[in-house]
Amino acid sequence: MKHLLLSSLIIASASFVGCSDDDAEVIEIAGLWDNNFGSQEDINSTQWGTAAVVYFDNQNNFAITQNAADAEFSPSLFNKLVWTEVVNQETWYCTIDFGKDTAEDAENTVNVADSSDLDDMGCGGFSWTKLVPVAQ
C-alpha cells in the first residue's frame, strides 16, 4: 500500500511539473517543417525553434516554451503554443500567449485560439501558422 501511495505521489508531482510518466514521450509534431511564412521550423521534445520546450501535452495539444536568454523579444520568458491534429501531413499552431514570467503563468493564460478560423484571425487577431513537412 505504501508503494502504491508513493507511486501515486510521484506520478502526481511529475504531472504537476509537466513531466510524463514515460520519459521517452515525444512531442507529436516533432519534425522539420516549412511554414506558411516562408521559413522552416525544427520542433522536437526539447526545442521549438530557438525556444526550449519546458513541457508539452500531446492529448491537449499544447507546449510551454522558454525563450533563449539572448532572444531579441522576451528573453528567458515563457510562452504557450497550441496546435491542431496533424491531418494530411499538415498541422497548424498558434502562440496564444508569450512573454510570461513563469511557465505556470503561460500555461494558465486566459487567452484562447479559434481553430475554426485558421487562415484569418483565429490566433489572437492573426492567422495560425501552417506547417507542412520539409520535402526530403
- For 55-103, the pLDDT digits (tens) are 999 999 999 999 999 999 999 999 999 999 999 999 999 999 999 999 9
In Å, how far are 56, 63, 84, 119, 124 from 60, measured between CA atoms? 9, 9, 10, 21, 19
- Please, are residues 21 and 13 in contact by the beta-carbon 8 Å criterion? no
Residue matched to cell numbers 512531442: 27
**How many residues would you count in the chain?**
136
pLDDT tens-place string over residues 93-132: 999 999 999 999 999 999 999 999 999 999 999 999 999 9
CB 14 within 8 A of CB 20: yes
Residue 135 has a pLDDT of 83
Task: Please list, in sequence order, all residues whose beta carbon lies within 8 angstroms of the beta carbon of residue 134, skipping any fewer than 6 positions away.
Answer: 31, 32, 33, 34, 40
